[in-house]
Amino acid sequence: MLSQTLSIMGTVEYFEILLPLALILLCAKLFSLLGKKIGLPQVVGMLVAGILLGLIKLIPNQSIFTEDTLKGLSFLAKIGVILIMFSAGIETDLKQFKVCGFPALVITILGVVVPMGLGFIIATAFNGGFENIEQNAISNLFYGTILAATSVSITVATLKELGKLNSKVGTSIIAAAIMDDIIGVILLSLFISLDKGTGAGEVGIVIGKMIGFFAAAAAIGVGLHFLLNLIEKRYPHTRRLPILGFVICFFFAYAAEKWFGVADITGAYVAGIILSTVKEHEYIDRKVEISNYMIFAPVFFANIGITADFSGITATMAGFGLAFIAVGLIGKVLGCGVGSLMCKYSFKDSLRVGIGMMVRAEVVIVCTQKGIDNGLVDPAIMPFILLLVVISALVAPLALKLLYKGEKPDEPQILPPIEAESAPQTDPQPSET
SS (H, E, C) 365-402: HHHHHHHHHCCCCCHHHHHHHHHHHHHHHHHHHHHHHH
* CA atoms in the 13 A half-sphere facing the CB of 175: 26
Contacts of 354 by beta carbon, 8 Å cutoff, 6+ apart: 332, 333, 334, 335, 336, 337, 340
Closest CB 117 distance from a copy of itself, rounded Å: 27
39, 226, 230, 309: which one contacts a copy of itself (CB under 8 A)?
Answer: 309
Distance between CA atoms of 298 and 48, rounded to whole angstroms? 11
- Binding to a copy of itself in span 310-369, by CB under 8 A: 310-312, 365, 369
The interface region with a copy of itself, picked from 6-14, 100-108, 168-176, 219-227 by CB under 8 A, is: 6-14
Residues 57-86 that bind a copy of itself (CB under 8 A): 57, 67-68, 70-72, 74-79, 82
Q: What span, in angstroms and rounded, lies between the C-alpha atoms of 86 and 75?
A: 16
Cβ neighbours of residue 169 closer than 8 Å, sequence gap 6 or more: 159, 345, 349, 352, 353, 356
- The enclosing H or E element of 73 equals helix 67-90
Residue with smaller CB distance to a copy of itself, 82 or 123: 82
CA pseudo-torsion sign 417, 418, 419, 423? positive
Give the C-alpha separation, 78 to 255, whole Å.
Answer: 15
Q: By CB neighbour count within 10 A (0-12 exposed, 13-18 middle, 19+ buried), where does 311 fall?
A: exposed
3-state secondary structure of 331: helix
Could you say which residues in the range 224-263 bind a copy of itself, by CB under 8 A? 235-240, 242-244, 246-248, 250-251, 253-254, 257-258
Residues 153-192 as x/- pattern, contact with a copy of itself by CB under 8 A = ----------------------------------------
DSSP letter assigned to residue 131 = G
- The reply to whether 34 sits near a copy of itself by the rule CB under 8 A is no
Task: Say whether residue 55 binds a copy of itself (CB under 8 A).
Answer: no
By the rule CB under 8 A, 3 interacts with a copy of itself: yes
Distance linking the first and last C-alpha atoms of the chain = 50
How many residues contact a copy of itself, by CB under 8 A?
A: 92
When asked if residue 307 is in the footprint of a copy of itself (CB under 8 A), the reply is: yes
- Would you count residue 12 as binding a copy of itself (CB under 8 A)? yes
Least distance between a copy of itself and beta carbon 273 (Å):
16
Give the Å distances, CA to CA, from 232 to 111, 252, 278.
40, 21, 9
Q: Which is nearer to a copy of itself, 214 or 254 (CB)?
A: 254
* Min separation Cβ 254 and a copy of itself, Å: 4
Site string for a copy of itself, 95-134 (x = CB under 8 A): ----------------------------------------
Name the segment binding a copy of itself (CB under 8 A); options: 150-158, 169-177, 184-192, 415-423.
415-423
Segment contacting a copy of itself by CB under 8 A, of 216-224, 329-337, 352-360, 424-432: 424-432
Over the Cα atoms of the chain, what is R_g? 22
Residues 380-409 within binding reach of a copy of itself (CB under 8 A):
382-383
CB-wise, 218 or 243, nearer to a copy of itself? Answer: 243
